[in-house]
Structures are given as C-alpha cells and as structure tokens.
C-alpha cells in the first residue's frame, strides 16, 4: 500500500503557494527569453513542433516532498492551453528551491501525448540545467546532461530529443540543488 504522505505534501504545497506561481504574460516572456539566450536551447525554438513553459516550479521537502507549477503550452508561437505540474516524493530530502522549466515537443505525436489531458514523465526522462548552481546535475539517464556558468556561456552539453521531448531547467534559487523530473505529472487544459 502506498503512503498518502506524498499526496499530502503536494496538497499542502499547492494550497500554500498556488497564488505565488500564477504567472502573467511578462513572466512567460521573460522565461522564454532566458531559454532563448542559451545557445544549447535556442535551436529547439527553431525546430520544435511546440513547447510547454513553466516560469516557476517550487519544490520543497523534509523526508516527504513535492513540487508544483503552472505553465502554458505553445504551438506555432501561440498559446494552445494551460498546464500544471505536480510531483510527490518520499525519502531523504531537505530544503526548497524554485526553477523554470521548458519542454520541447519534437513532433505532433509528442505534442499530442503531452496534451492528452494527463501526462507523466517516466524514469528515463532527463533534463539539462541551463544555469549552474553548486553541484548542478541533470538527467536520470546518460543521454545528455550538462551545466554552465550562465545561459549565454555556450558551454552546456549538447542534448537531443528523448522519446520526442527535450527538457531544460533554469535554477532560480533555493537550498536543494538537485532537480528531478522523473515522476512529474502534468495536466493540460486547452484554451
């Protein structure tokens, strides 16, 4: 039987911080600009079928943890819907952090999979950190991961799509220095 503690942690995080994660048009524009400024990410804007942007995802944990964020999904440069992300975890963890995340969809199949209503990253999901923090790491597989001294340095590792998606995160601050995207659950609401 699964413990209800991760669900409780997510519920508490969502209830306490949902207004703090509501983004306006300028937040989305600024977040997209940060990712566009990264040489490793910029090419994805040119060839992706679409993408999802989450200006702020908050993650906190003390044995039981969770994360929450709200975002928008784009296709052809236009917003097609709203998305939210939650993650629950249990195990040794302590602290909190905030980060931005962008997910590129290689083709219509990947876009349709994400926008099907409820999507979850599996254990093979990987992310590339765009801005380095102490001990920055990325990825749950060896496909491609890297970090840089900043989004414009161009020293990020090359990455490519994995199962039709490529994910990048930008650390905004906090005390937890690991970002795990495996187990993230997304919901999509078309406009």
The CA dihedral of 29, 31, 37, 38, to the nearest 10 degrees, is -150
Q: How many domains does the chain have?
A: 1
pLDDT at 181: 64
Helices then strands, each counted (H, E), the chain: 4, 6
**Which residues form the domain of 67?**
5-190
Per-residue pLDDT of 87-128, as tens digits, reads 877 766 778 888 999 999 999 999 999 999 889 886 567 778
Q: What's the whole-number mean pLDDT along residues 120-143?
A: 54
Q: What's the whole-number mean pLDDT along residues 62-66?
A: 77
* pLDDT at residue 132 tops 80: no
pLDDT at 69: 95
* pLDDT at residue 45 tops 90: yes
pLDDT at 138: 38
Q: Which residue(s) pair with 85 in the sheet?
A: 69, 186
User: How far is 139 from 150, CA to CA, in rounded Å?
Assistant: 18
Structure tokens at 98: 């905030």
Structure tokens at 27: 């937040």
* Model confidence, pTM: 0.75
Our measurement of the distance from residue 146's CA atom to the centroid of its chain's CA atoms, rounded to an integer in Å, reads 15
Per-residue pLDDT of 8-23, as tens digits, reads 444 444 444 444 556 7
Q: Is the torsion defined by CA of 184, 185, 187, 188 positive or negative?
A: positive
* pLDDT at residue 141 tops 60: no
pLDDT at 144: 33
Q: Across all residues in the chain, what is the average pLDDT?
A: 76
pLDDT band at 82 (very low <50, low <70, confident <90, very high): very high
């Amino acid at each position: 039987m699964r413990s209800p503690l991760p669900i409780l942690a997510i519920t508490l995080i969502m209830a306490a911080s949902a207004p703090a994660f509501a983004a306006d048009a300028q937040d989305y524009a600024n977040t997209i600009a940060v990712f566009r400024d990264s040489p490793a990410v910029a090419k994805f804007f040119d060839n992706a079928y679409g993408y999802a942007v989450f200006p702020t995802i908050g993650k906190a944990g003390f044995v039981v943890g969770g994360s929450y964020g709200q975002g928008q999904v784009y296709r052809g440069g236009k917003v097609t819907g709203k998305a939210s992300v939650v993650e629950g975890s249990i195990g040794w963890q302590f602290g909190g952090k905030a980060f931005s995340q962008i997910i590129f969809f290689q083709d219509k199949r990947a876009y349709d999979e994400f926008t099907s209503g409820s999507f979850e990253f599996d254990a093979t999901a990987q992310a590339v950190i765009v801005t380095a923090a102490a001990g920055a790491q990325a990825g749950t597989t060896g496909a491609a991961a890297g970090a840089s001294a900043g989004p414009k340095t161009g020293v990020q590792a090359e990455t490519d799509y994995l199962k039709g998606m490529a994910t990048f995160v930008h650390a905004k601050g906090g005390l937890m220095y690991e970002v795990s995207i495996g187990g993230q659950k997304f919901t999509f609401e078309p406009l």
